Structure 1
Amino acid sequence: MRQMSATLRTAVPSAGRCRVLPRRVLGLAVVFLVGALCLVVLHSRTVINSWWGRRFNGASGNMQCYPVGNMPPAGARRAAKNLTLNLQPGWRASAKQVLVDVMVFPREKQLLCTIPKAGCTVLRSLSVAQATGLHIEPKDAGGVSRVHWFAAYRQLQLKDFSDEHSAQWMGDPQWRYSAVVRHPLTRILSGYLDKLQQDQEYFRPPFKGRRVNSFREFVEVLEVEARQRPDGLDNTDEHWRTQSTYCFFRVLPRAAFDDVVRLEDADQIARLYVELFGEHGARWVTTQRRKDGTAKGTTSSHARSAAAKLEANVDEELARRVQQLYKEDYERFGYDLWPPS
């Protein structure tokens, strides 16, 4: 009997132990419900973001102009905050297609948007100097590639942060948001001279497997590309895509930017270098003016080279074709047919 009782006690769980099983089931059920709720929330956020993307961008993933209108600075900052919150996933997808987009300097509370072929090498060199204390000569052929790759993988960029952080910084009046643009004609001429004539960028569309022998042929390829793509030149190679696709230009009112400086305006560029980069910027301005023998030499070597080669490469008919190709940039940044002399 004692043996049978022991066997029964072993085979039959006690009443207290039987109640443990429902608790475990309940716990698993709670975990399952919480997980399911999280999935629902994430899915809802995706749907909401997609809706907002269509509402403000025209289509999720493809930025379109949203006319905010003229606003006072405070209102513009609020608009920047509200709009930036709703740009995901469109703006982020576009930003990730370029090597360096909007750089973030938390200590200095600065945002800087650099555009390829619009003085970006100097700006990124100075940003590297500010971040590391190291001086890199932008004109040094070996240093140029290091500058861009350092800026891409070591410099903080807006696309690496959440939408909430982006909105907070862009909507905060204590933060400074600056951008540099360039005359579209000299920009793409510089791109042609610096990239295709040096046998670069032939590995990317639209020039992959297609050699061009003149600037005119280069423009013709871009015209075909713009006609064939529904978004024109918005998402082509970053060196000749439309400048308006950068920096939230199509979304934010002008008052949301502290500085939108044209590269051709030497005085304003020099001021921006010094105000953004302090000692490093002042050193660059002084060095360039000494080399040029003028009081206004601040642009890069192939910026001046491209301007000097306009006459050899561009006639009025071709200039007007470029103006039509980049019409939005000409109008947005107030450029005439020909760059300022």
Structure 2
Amino acid sequence: MKILRNLPRTKKLEGIFDVQRKMNPSFLSLLVLATSSLAFFALNVYQLSAWNASSRAIRSSQQVETSRIIHHVPIQMRRKTRGRLVQPGDFIYYKDDRRWDSAPIVIESHKLVFFTIPKVGCTVWKQLFRRMEGYSDWQDQDGERLLPHNPNENGLKYLYDYPIDKANEIMTSPKWTKAMMVREPKQRFLSAFLDKAVSNDHAHIMGKCCQFMEDPQQCVDSAQTASGFLNLIKTCEDDHWRAQNDRVDYKYWPYIDMVLHVEKAEEDAKRLLQKIGAWDEFGQTGWSKDHQSPIFGNAAKSAGDHATWSQWQVWKWYTPEVERQVEAFYRADYENPLFNFTTYECFTCVK
């Protein structure tokens, strides 16, 4: 057949027909049958692939992903989304009873949208918001009703409580303040480790991670060091140690107005509450046991009563190698310019 390539089209066809006439009829029949079978097989494979793709699309549209991978794009290079920002099924617009901190809390009276993050003072923020909404038991930490965290009990409004058009208005209007508080990643990791792996009879990691392992007790035992806990959370996701950069999908970052820091909790909280006109009434007094202190007046305790940060804990749990590994795990947090973390500040280096 190679000799036919340089012939005119009509000559090629004549040559092909000559070859076909010289073929054995039975061989030609087998060739036609084989060609037809191959075409039928290819058609079925294509239809099956299309059906599988369609099924995956339908399943993904009916449920929120339990594990999300955020591709980190430098925020300064992003632009605001054209058209409707909030879409049905977005992580921040979906009520998930397994993830209470997925959608942001909305305070209509002061036009505030706040994205709480576990291990970053979220208990105090929710107490504040319940106080602003007029609940007399705003200070309660009820173990039975799981206050103030349980969205089904705390009486707070979340973004998913609004129609999609209103949610878009809230998230895009400059009249609304969109804020969150973040924490230095290595400090937050250590807090999660001490509270969720070491303390409270290891109940959290047992229920969240280890009960599904072949040897649950071995799983718990191996997570009693910082390096062992780091290995565990690489395959066991949870909001208490998930990267803060994953708090919202990348399209929402240009709309975040204020990023506060737990290390400057009292100062930053005052700045936010003054901006929305809530400082004098709700932030300046009424906190701590004497009800006279400002919110986050004792910042270390208020930011997370589970595990107070101190230098001896750094040296007790971190080694230079583990510190570098934790930095790598939370690389996206350090690279997020809105967080303004000191890049790879060394805790275990000799000063």
TM-score (norm 1): 0.64
Per-residue displacement from partner, 1:232-276 (whole Å, max 9, x unpaired)? Answer: x7xx2111112122144x22344x222111211242233235545
Cα distance change, pair 154–113 in 1 and its aligned pair in 2 (3 A) = same
Per-residue displacement from partner, 1:189-248 (whole Å, max 9, x unpaired)? Answer: 11122222223313443343331222222112123x1xxxxxxx7xx2111112122144
User: Could you say what secondary structure the match of 1:118 adopts?
Assistant: coil
The 10-residue stretch of structure 1 (317-326 or 201-210) with the greater mean CA deviation from structure 2: 201-210
Cα distance change, pair 155–297 in 1 and its aligned pair in 2 (3 A) = same
**Equivalent runs, 1:62-211 vs 2, <5 Å:** 62=68, 64-65=70-71, 67=73, 70=76, 79=80, 82=83, 84-85=85-86, 87-91=87-91, 96=96, 97-100=98-101, 101-134=103-136, 136-137=138-139, 145-149=146-150, 154-196=155-197, 197-199=199-201, 200-208=203-211, 209=216, 210-211=219-220
Instruction: Give the % identical residues.
Output: 20
Which residue is 1:22 aligned to?
none
User: Could you say what secondary structure the match of 1:180 adopts?
Assistant: strand
Per-residue displacement from partner, 1:268-297 (whole Å, max 9, x unpaired)? Answer: 2332355454322222396269975xxx77
TM-aligned CA deviation for residue 102 of structure 1: 0.2
Which residue is 2:246 aligned to?
245
Which residue is 2:309 aligned to?
306
User: Could you say what secondary structure the match of 2:241 adopts?
Assistant: coil
Which residue is 1:221 aligned to?
232
The 10-residue stretch of structure 1 (317-326 or 281-290) with the greater mean CA deviation from structure 2: 281-290
TM-aligned CA deviation for residue 324 of structure 1: 0.6
User: Could you say what secondary structure the match of 1:238 adopts?
Assistant: coil
CA distance in 2, matches of 1:221, 1:60: 17
TM-aligned CA deviation for residue 98 of structure 1: 1.5
CA distance in 2, matches of 1:191, 1:144: 23
The answer to whether the 8 A contact 1:68-1:251 is kept is: no
Whether 2:324 is the aligned partner of 1:320: answer yes
TM-aligned CA deviation for residue 338 of structure 1: 3.6
**Structure 2 stretches of 5 or more lacking a match?**
1-53
Aligned AA for 2:193? Y
**Structure 1 stretches of 5 or more lacking a match?**
1-46, 226-232
TM-score (norm 2): 0.63
The alignment yields a C-alpha RMSD, in angstroms, of 3.9
The answer to whether the 8 A contact 1:288-1:297 is kept is: no
The answer to whether the 8 A contact 1:61-1:89 is kept is: no
Aligned AA for 1:302? D
User: Could you say what secondary structure the match of 1:84 adopts?
Assistant: coil
**Equivalent runs, 1:21-60 vs 2, <5 Å:** none
TM-aligned CA deviation for residue 182 of structure 1: 0.9
The answer to whether the 8 A contact 1:185-1:319 is kept is: yes
Q: Which has the higher helix share?
A: 1
User: Could you say what secondary structure the match of 1:107 adopts?
Assistant: helix
Which residue is 1:264 aligned to?
263
Aligned AA for 1:115? I
The answer to whether the 8 A contact 2:106-2:157 is kept is: yes
CA distance in 2, matches of 1:92, 1:213: 33
CA distance in 2, matches of 1:121, 1:157: 16
Cα distance change, pair 163–291 in 1 and its aligned pair in 2 (3 A) = closer
Cα distance change, pair 269–115 in 1 and its aligned pair in 2 (3 A) = same
CA distance in 2, matches of 1:157, 1:240: 22
TM-aligned CA deviation for residue 112 of structure 1: 0.6
Cα distance change, pair 291–268 in 1 and its aligned pair in 2 (3 A) = closer
The answer to whether the 8 A contact 2:121-2:302 is kept is: yes
The 10-residue stretch of structure 1 (199-208 or 319-328) with the greater mean CA deviation from structure 2: 199-208
CA distance in 2, matches of 1:251, 1:327: 19
Aligned AA for 1:166? A
